[in-house]
Amino acid sequence: ASETDAAPLLQKARGYADNLGVSFHVGSQCMNPSAFRDAMDLASRIIVKAGVIVDVVDVGGGFPSAYPGMAPPDLELYVNVIKSAFEGMPVAMNAKLWCEPGRAMVAESTSILARVELVKNGALHINDGSYGNLFDAAHCKWPFPVKAHRPDGVFEGGEQTFKLYGPTCDSLDAMEGPFTLPADIREGDYIEFGMLGAYGVAMQTRFNGFGETEDIAVQDQPWTSMYSGVEKRQPAAPRRTARKTSRRLKVVS
C-alpha cells in the first residue's frame, strides 16, 4: 500500500486483528543498511498517522550475500541499524521484531551442476536455465561463480568468457554472464554454478519440459562467505559445531 493508503488500512485492520503488524521490503540484495532505517522511519510516520498500536514490525528481506563483484557491508551493520531504528518506533512495549534473512543465510549452501549440450558461436547451450535453477542468472543477470568439470579428463589451455543458453524455446532463457570457463569446454562437460542456495532450486518449474533433479549432499567450504569472521565474535565451542558447511549439489540430468 502507498503511504496515503497504509494509515487507514491499519486503522481498519486494528479492529479485527489480535496482533497487528507492519511490514515492508527494501529490495532484494540490499547493499545499503540505511535503507532499512529509511523504511522503518516511513513505517513510524504511518503508525503515528493511523494512531494505532502495532504489535509486530517485519523488516522483510533484502539481506545480501557476497556474490562475485558484490561486496556487501558486514551483516552486523544491518543488525545495528535495524535495532537502533526499532528502539525509536512508536510501537507496543512488547512489540516483536521480525526479519526474513533467507538469502544471507542460505545462498552459500548450494551449487547447481548443469551439462553442456552444445558449443556454438562462442556460447554454451546447457540443460538448465531461467525456468530451472538459474532464474537470477537470467533475469537479474548475475554472474554466479562457475567451475567446469570434465568427468573423463582434464581441461587444457586457457579460459574465455561465454554466454549461456538454457534448454527451452523461450527467448528469455539466456544468461549473459559473462561466465569465464575453459576455452576447450565441450559437449558432455559439466558447469558448477555456486552460491545458488537462494532463489535457485526454489525457482525451478516444470515449464517447457524440465524434468527431475537429483539432490546430493556434500560437505566442504562455500565459494565465498559473508561469515568469514563470525567465529571470532562467537563462543568457540558452539560455533565450531554450528559452522560446519553442508553444500548441496543439484544435479540436473
Q: What percent of the chain has pLDDT over 90?
A: 59
Q: How much is the pLDDT for 135?
A: 86
What was the pLDDT predicted at 103? 92
> Strand, coil or helix: what is 248?
strand
pLDDT at 248 over 60: no
Report d(CA 166, CA 175) in Å as an integer: 8
Instruction: Give residue-wise pLDDT tens across range 202-223.
Output: 888 777 666 667 778 877 777 7
Answer yes or no: is pLDDT of 244 > 60.
Answer: no
DSSP state of 28: T
Q: Which residue has the higher pLDDT, 142 or 235?
A: 142
Q: Which parts of 15-101 fold into alpha helices (H)?
A: 34-50, 75-87
- As a whole number of Å, the end-to-end CA separation of the chain is 43
> What whole-number distance in Å separates Cα of residue 156 and Cα of residue 201?
32
3-state secondary structure of 242: helix
* 26 neighbors 35 (Cβ within 8 angstroms): yes
Domains and CATH numbers, the chain: 3-105 (3.20.20.10), 110-210+248-252 (2.40.37.10)
For the stretch 105-158, pLDDT in tens is 999 888 889 999 999 999 999 999 988 889 888 888 877 899 999 988 899 989
